[in-house]
Structure 1
Amino acid sequence: MRHLCALLLSATLLGGCASAPQDPSGIWINQAAIDDAAEGGPLREALLAYGPNLEWQIDTQRQVAIASNGFELDEGQLHGDPASGWQVDFYGDFHERLNLEDDQLVQVQSASSPQQRFVRATRVVAPNAPQGSSFEHSLYAAYLGGTWTITEGSGRDGLVRFHPDGQVEGLPGADRYALCLAGDCAAMSGAHDGIWLQLGEQGRSWLFEREGADLRVFEALNQAAANEMPDYRPGQLVWRLHRN
């Protein structure tokens, strides 16, 4: 009888361990959006098709989960649920559910969000990098990585390299760049893709179009009144670049 009780207790304990949710701690990025953008089409279309969340950072020890959409960070309280993975409770009675399926983190479809899938980030970023940087660096490498030749505009025939950390080499008048992913810059650019170019402390917004291996950068003309939010439309073509 004692032997039978011991076996039953062991089975109960093992069953309880088996039903516990797997640990999703770490940084997860929206690789599907990156892969779609890397095919060489409009960036905003890829982000809208596979967004809105672009990165999750999860810490089960602190019971914290932070979602980034490329502009805002939403921090929620993380709770394990043996029956259905994990739940994230956000301010304002807003919830998301997360599951681990093989090597992917799945954000379950909810009333406010579609189902989304994420993979663990593999690109190393600086320890003090802002949250969301893992997705951003991976996107920059896939979307603008490699060597580009200026085929039209200032610096013609020169080589340009966009680095994953936001540095750019060879583009006249710029040493830093940032792609517009969401938020105010997206609202101001409408249906167009936007990029911020900066030299030292001075920078400005530009618009661009990507078609395969060709990248065209335009002046951003503001059609709004002085007391309104900027409303940018493409102006003069400034650079045409070709990816080698």
Structure 2
Amino acid sequence: MRVAFALSLLVALLSGCASHSDKSPDGTWINQAAIDAAGQGGNLRQALLAYGPNLEWNINTKAGQATASNGFELSEGKIASNADGKLRVDFYGNASDELTIKGDELVQRASDTGPEQHFRSPKEAPPAGAQPGTSFERALYTAYLGGKWTIVNGEGQGSAVEFLPDGSVSGLPGNDRYALCLAGDCAAMSGEYDSMWLEKNERGNPWIFVRNGKQLELFQAVNNAQATEMPDLRPGEQRWVLEKN
């Protein structure tokens, strides 16, 4: 009986290992660690920088293509090799990344340009025709701003506000769309401050925000730069204070 049990256990272990190694890397993978860190309700950019720079991978081994998104730029690469459960993705300019499936994760090996990173399949599939980076963005928006908020100070005090994962917002006076700044030019312009874009009918402006747990403060963005310089956005007058229910 002991021999039979040992053999059955060995078979189970071997089959489990085989199933992991045979898992396809194809599809979308998001940086769940960065999302979880942001979901703690602190500084958004710090959370993304701590677990970035890549926020999403999209892999198509049949086409021999892979793309990586950092929340601003999209890097398109060619799969140069796919053996022993490891993918090597080559990018223009002699840069490359090595990806490996380990259990339920896609692991990007540490390199001269960045640390080891871990990615997971998104809980929800992206909408048909969605641009690369959409899955990460929607999951981040849900974790960081999802749920019901109440305006406790500012125009519309007492009103309920809801930020939806598709970038729409309801209940915030004068606005129907929003976008969190994840990286790139908007991050360079706001420096150490978090910023978001708010608009209505496709017309809007950048805003500085401060998230502290269940409280969200929104400030008008004041540009301290000269007309010939890149904008240097800093918090101006406080416009709203929201609290999460």
What TM-score, normalized to structure 1?
Answer: 0.90
- Tell me by how many angstroms 1:57 deviates: 0.2
In structure 1, stretches of 5+ residues that fail to align are: 1-16
* AA in 1 matched with 2:160: L
Matches within 5 A, 1:153-172: 153-172=154-173
* 2:174 match: 173
**Inter-partner Cα distance in structure 1 for 2:114 and 2:85:** 18
Matches within 5 A, 1:1-244: 22-83=23-84, 85-244=86-245
**Inter-partner Cα distance in structure 2 for 1:237 and 1:178:** 19
Q: Could you tell me whether the CA contact under 8 Å between 1:167 and 1:175 is conserved in 2?
A: yes
Deviations 1:23-59 (A, max 9, x none): 2000000000000000111000000000000000000
Q: Could you tell me whether the CA contact under 8 Å between 2:85 and 2:101 is conserved in 1?
A: no
Moved over 4 A (4+): none
- Tell me by how many angstroms 1:124 deviates: 3.0
**Inter-partner Cα distance in structure 1 for 2:171 and 2:212:** 21
- Tell me by how many angstroms 1:83 deviates: 4.3
Instruction: Say if 1:90 and 1:232 are closer, same or farther in 2 by CA, change over 3 A.
Output: same
**Inter-partner Cα distance in structure 2 for 1:22 and 1:77:** 20
Q: Could you tell me whether the CA contact under 8 Å between 1:174 and 1:198 is conserved in 2?
A: yes
Q: Could you tell me whether the CA contact under 8 Å between 2:167 and 2:179 is conserved in 1?
A: yes
Q: Could you tell me whether the CA contact under 8 Å between 1:89 and 1:95 is conserved in 2?
A: yes
Q: Could you tell me whether the CA contact under 8 Å between 1:21 and 1:81 is conserved in 2?
A: no
RMSD: 1.5
- Tell me by how many angstroms 1:82 deviates: 2.5
**Inter-partner Cα distance in structure 1 for 2:24 and 2:45:** 32
